[in-house]
């Protein structure tokens, strides 16, 4: 890096969906400061989400359990990154604040999630539910690039072309039998998950209508995938819970449509331009819905929903009705409409 080239550090460490939703910030920075060098800092394991982004010059991983552990490790990370003229902290955690203190950038912009009593309410577990504006606008507002009177710009996920080609070959084993539908049973928090019996019923309906099914997930979703398969009366074309994030993205890109709870893969699908139906219950689609013309939301709209900012915790009513009462037939109707629009 030359001494006269502005160095911008963009910090969004995790998680899968949040990193994808932050991609318009990198795009806006590149447009506003085309000559700058942009480095994106992510937690270990998330590099693949941004390493192919043409708006980013370099991706570094925050190894907070290893090389960058504790204050001494964060100081070492600051030495790796310095000098930085502009730091944009979209994570706003203790460790990113400490990193900023060590870096001493000329300018720093930080995402402020809560103010005043909001901080206290969060500390005692009474966090207010945040709805509009959408999270993409919240991120863009940090760099004064938000226009909340308009739909947010679509985040983009960039894939390795070789992996995309391999995924297309992997999913065309019985080419010509109809659209490929990707089904995701998993979400980080149980409260956001659709019952496996419902997902299985949707899968069976899809097969009956001449479609092909891929039941997908990541490491840790094996149990949920197994539960779904046990409830199915038909066989999916493909089952996958292994591989990298880029491999998962490539499989999604091979799908004609995806059905998912409010989770990272739904944002991956939207970021790839794949039609996606996202099932919302405890969280707010006004804030978290995948963005794009081919992205749709299905929800029951119960008086108690949304009840959580991220889907953690348990159902205050003890019924999980927001997801349990969301019928496979209703989701099928939405999926059928999406596929007709695509066709």
**Cα 115 versus chain centre, distance:** 25
Pair 122, 179 in one domain: no
Assess whether 135 and 166 both reside in one domain: no
Task: Please answer whether residues 47 and 59 qualify as being in contact, where contact means their C-beta atoms are separated by less than 8 angstroms.
Answer: yes
1 found inside a domain: no
Would you write out the chain's pLDDT as a tens digit for each of its 343 residues?
445 689 999 999 999 999 999 999 999 999 999 999 999 999 999 999 999 999 999 999 999 999 999 999 999 999 999 999 999 999 999 999 999 999 999 999 999 975 555 545 555 456 789 899 999 999 999 999 999 889 999 999 999 888 877 777 777 755 567 999 999 999 999 999 999 999 999 999 999 999 999 999 999 999 999 999 999 999 999 999 988 999 999 999 999 999 999 999 999 999 999 999 999 999 999 999 999 999 999 999 999 999 999 999 899 899 999 999 999 999 999 999 999 886 5
Q: Is residue 317 part of a domain?
A: yes
Same domain assignment for residues 282 and 321: yes
Report the domain count for the chain: 2
Q: Quick check: bond before 133 cis, omega within 30?
A: yes
CA distances from 313 to 68, 188, 317 (A): 30, 11, 12
**Structure tokens belonging to residue 296:** 């749709």
Report the C-alpha gap between 330 and 202 in whole angstroms: 10
Residue 121 is predicted with a pLDDT of: 53
Tokens linked to 317: 């009513």
**Do 134 and 169 belong to one domain?**
no
Same domain assignment for residues 184 and 328: yes
User: What domain range includes position 171?
Assistant: 162-342
Q: What is the pTM of this model?
A: 0.94
Concatenating the DSSP letter of every residue in 176-228 gives TS--EEEE----SSGGGPPPHHHHHHHHHHHHHTT-EEEEE--TT-HHHHHHH
The 10s digit of each residue's pLDDT in 239-252 is: 999 889 999 999 99
The answer to whether residues 194 and 229 touch, using CB atoms and an 8 Å cutoff, is no
The tokens for 285 are 């689609």
User: What does the alpha-carbon distance between residue 169 and residue 160 come to, in Å, rounded to a whole number?
Assistant: 15
Identify whether residues 329 and 188 lie together within a single domain.
yes
**The two three-digit tokens of residue 23, written as one number:** 């991609």
Domain boundary at 87, 109, 142, which? 142
* CATH number for the domain that contains residue 59: 3.40.50.2000
Residues 131 and 43 in one domain: yes
CB environment 297-311: b (16+ within 10 A), e (fewer): bbbbeeeebbbbbeb
3-class secondary structure, 107: strand
Beta strands in 12-149 (DSSP E): 37-43, 58-62, 86-89, 107-110
Backbone φ and ψ of 88, nearest 5°: -115, 110
Q: Does residue 149 fall inside a structural domain?
A: no
How far is residue 320's CA from residue 193's CA, in Å, rounded to a whole number?
A: 10
| Residue 148 placed within a domain | no
Q: What is the pLDDT of residue 215?
A: 98
DSSP assignment, residue 290?
A: -
Residues 132, 216, single domain; the answer is no
Q: In terms of residues, how long is the chain?
A: 343
310 in the same domain as 170: yes
Same domain, 107 and 220: no
Rounded CA-CA distance 236/229 in Å is 8
């Amino acid at each position: 890096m030359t001494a006269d080239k502005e160095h911008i550090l963009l910090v969004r460490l995790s998680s899968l969906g949040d990193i994808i939703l932050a991609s318009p910030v990198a795009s806006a920075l590149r447009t506003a400061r085309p000559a700058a060098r942009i480095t994106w800092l992510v937690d270990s394991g998330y590099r693949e989400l941004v390493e192919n982004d043409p708006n980013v010059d370099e991706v570094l991983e925050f190894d907070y359990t290893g090389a960058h552990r504790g204050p001494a490790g964060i100081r070492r990370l600051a030495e790796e990154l310095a000098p930085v003229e502009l730091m944009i902290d979209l994570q706003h955690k203790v460790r990113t604040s400490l990193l900023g203190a060590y870096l001493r950038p000329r300018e720093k912009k930080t995402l402020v999630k809560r103010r005043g009593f909001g901080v206290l309410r969060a500390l005692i577990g009474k966090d207010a539910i945040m709805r509009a504006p959408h999270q993409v606008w919240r991120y863009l507002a940090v760099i004064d690039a938000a226009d909340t009177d308009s739909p947010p710009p679509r985040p983009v996920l960039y894939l390795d072309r070789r992996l995309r080609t391999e995924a297309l070959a992997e999913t065309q084993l019985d080419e010509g039998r109809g659209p490929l539908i990707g089904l995701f049973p998993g979400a980080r928090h149980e409260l956001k998950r659709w019952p496996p019996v419902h997902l299985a019923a949707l899968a069976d309906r899809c097969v009956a209508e001449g479609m092909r099914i891929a039941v997908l997930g990541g490491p840790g979703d094996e149990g949920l995938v197994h539960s779904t398969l046990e409830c199915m009366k038909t066989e999916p074309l493909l089952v996958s819970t292994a591989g990298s994030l880029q491999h998962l993205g490539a499989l999604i890109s091979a799908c004609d449509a995806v059905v998912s709870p409010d989770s990272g893969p739904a944002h991956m699908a939207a970021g790839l331009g794949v039609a996606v139906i996202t099932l919302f219950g405890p969280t707010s689609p006004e804030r978290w819905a995948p963005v794009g013309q081919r992205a749709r939301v299905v929800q029951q709209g119960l008086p108690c929903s949304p009840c959580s900012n991220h889907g953690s915790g348990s159902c205050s009513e003890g019924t999980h009705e927001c997801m349990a009462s969301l019928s496979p037939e209703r989701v099928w109707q939405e999926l059928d409409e999406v596929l007709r629009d695509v066709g």
